[in-house]
Structure 1
Amino acid sequence: MRKNLGPWTWAVTLACAAVVGCQTVQTTQPGVVGVSREQRVSPLINRAELNQQAGLQYRQVLGEAQKKQTLNRDGEDVARVRRIADRIIPQTAVFRPEAVNWKWEVNVISSKELNAWCMPGGKIAFYTGLIDGLKATDDELAQVMGHEIAHALREHAWERASKSATAGLGLSIIGIALGADQGQMDLAGLVYNVTFELPNSREHETEADRIGIELAARAGYDPRAAVTLWQKMAKANDGAPPKWLSTHPAHEDRQSDLKVYGDKVMPLYEQAKRSGRAVL
């Protein structure tokens, strides 16, 4: 005799179908640091559309900064950051050959924030708080540059969007089946983010640290600066990371990991320094 499936069973079945629909991708080569985790992305998120939206968002951010007269105000800062980018971007070929041909763009926004980011497709912004307020050396800025570029190379935005889309679909199906109200749905989403999104965010940060330190080393920037950079950040924030790093690995764990991987890529840095040019 066939039994009727209850709403919970149907909800779980449909939610699982959404998850199973994800595909596995390998966005980058492992490099010396050996980042080789396979990533799962959802067909619900179109990568091309995601990148297009990122570009539009970048233009919006620059437009707002232009109106406030905070875009590229200090020519020396702009030239300095772009010079570092010009050395690091060619190194992306080691991890992802086609990335060299992305439409890269680097701009500087005047703000006290200790912040920098790279959107999908190579749209970069640095904040003067990170450059001048932190009194960062070129080696330290290169660590930030490499880290942010690594996020774009690994397409962490696509991966996180996929997780959120799949979670949202699954939770919506479950909510409909169980008759959950909007407040319950919001709570369910919060629980999902805390349980699943936060650890993945830490994983992404570790990957970006490791790839970033290799990119910088290959470009001739001292990997030891990765540790001094985070020490400066901790000091600037009374021992705690900036808000934009609040979900990242603990400072002590991060510095320890950067020390290990800095030692691993030190030969690349030394080779670049001896030859007077970046290591490809």
Structure 2
Amino acid sequence: MKKFKLTLIALALAAGAASAGQAPAQAPMNPRADGIPVTKLSRLRVFADEQEMDQQSKLQYSQLLSEAKQKEALVPDSDPQVKRLRAIAARIVPNAKRWNPAAANWNWEVNLLNSDQVNAFCMPGGRIAFYSGILTKLNLTDDEVAMVMGHEISHALREHARKRAVQSTAVSIASRLGGAALSSYLGIDPRLTDAGANMAGQLTVMKFSRGDETEADLVGIDLAARAGYDPRAGLALWQKMGAVNSQEPMEFLSTHPSGESRIQDMQKQMPLVLPVYARVRGLDVNKLPPYQTSPLPN
């Protein structure tokens, strides 16, 4: 029965892949706008065991911190950067339940790892980690840190890991079924059709992943704006990322949208999130000063 359900999901995914990852339409500036509209969580996630994924996440996070501590790479609680990250999280987290009511009961954690990696993540259950490289190499302002954190938290809130696990399995089944059917219809070697079906399946999964990234960008700027951080920092963040990562794969063959696409999508949503930010800060949305970023290190 489980395989039958996944087969049905696979067929539905194949049919709906073309519409994945589309951003909401641009909205006019409205001082009363209340941010990015909340959408329902993906129904696909219910086919992945939530408790099991949470336990896996908890174990993986604990192991990561333990290994980092052994290598003296876990930055201590007293460090100013750790305090900074936790202070930013303390402002963002209260707004998380808007996007997933279950987040109100998560045991949120924020830690900093001493590594040159330009990276950060948030595991299911609110387990956040930043790598020091993203702070130093991009010279992030607090607003830009909030954009990164909001984005990573959004992946957990929208339960992308659960959804992606189901998608990967379902697309794999759909690829095998499609390859077998095409081989039988054409009367050719199944290995030829399997290769083509597998490639199509991989591209479909990439498309779904790019859709998750776009959603996390938009939910992230909404979370940050509600916490009083300037959502225009998201534009500056991806301009910096583009400068640091000057070479990237073609968007069509990537699990992430291009930096240019991300900036365009966020720009379209500024009329929705800027009024939220202005309201939180007690400012007139039409008189907001230009956003000031910090220069990249030499």
TM-score range, shorter chain: 0.7 to 0.9
The answer for the alignment partner of 2:272 in structure 1 is 264
Q: Distance in 2 between matches of 1:227 and 1:17?
A: 39
Contact 1:35–1:207 (CA under 8 A) maintained in structure 2? no
> Are 2:175 and 2:201, in contact at CA under 8 Å, matched by a contact in 1?
no
SS in structure 2 at match of 1:220: coil
User: 2:201 aligned to 192, 210, 231, which one?
Assistant: 192
From 130, 139, 152, the counterpart of 2:134: 130
Counterpart contact for 2:86–2:110, Cα < 8 Å: yes
Report the residue type matching 1:111 in the other structure: S
2:241 and 2:259 in contact (8 A); partners too = no
1:34 aligned counterpart, secondary structure: coil
In the alignment, the residues of structure 1 paired with residue 146 and residue 268 of structure 2 have an alpha-carbon distance, to the nearest angstrom, of 18
Give how far 1:14 is off. 9.0
Residue pairs, 1:107-256, within 5 angstroms = 107-170=111-174, 188-194=197-203, 196-238=204-246, 240=248, 246-256=254-264
Change (3 A) 1:117 1:186: farther
CA distance in 2, matches of 1:232, 1:250: 13
Tell me the CA shift for residue 82 of structure 1. Answer: 0.7
Cα separation, 2, equivalents of 1:128 and 1:183? 46
Unaligned segments of structure 1, at least 5 residues: 1-12, 23-29, 276-280
Q: Relative CO higher for 1 or 2, CA cutoff 8 Å, sep ≥ 6?
A: 2
What is the aligned partner in structure 2 of residue 57 from structure 1? 60
Q: CA offsets per residue over residues 49-86 of structure 1, 9 Å max, x none?
A: 11211111111211221121111157111111111001
Q: Take 1:201 and 1:160, find their aligned partners in 2: how far apart are those partners?
A: 8
* Distance (whole Å) between structure 1 residues aligned to residue 69 and residue 269 of structure 2: 39
Equivalent-residue separation in structure 2 for 1:64 and 1:71 (angstroms): 9
Q: Which runs of 5+ in 2 are unaligned?
A: 14-23, 25-33, 184-188, 284-298
Q: Indicate if the aligned counterparts of 2:116 and 2:134 stay in contact, CA closer than 8 A.
A: yes
After TM superposition, the score normalised by the length of structure 2 is: 0.74
3-state SS, counterpart of residue 242 of structure 2: helix
Matched letter for residue 96 of structure 1 = N
Q: Secondary structure at the match of 2:282?
A: helix
- Taking only the aligned residue pairs, the percentage that are identical comes to 43
TM-score after normalising by structure 1: 0.78
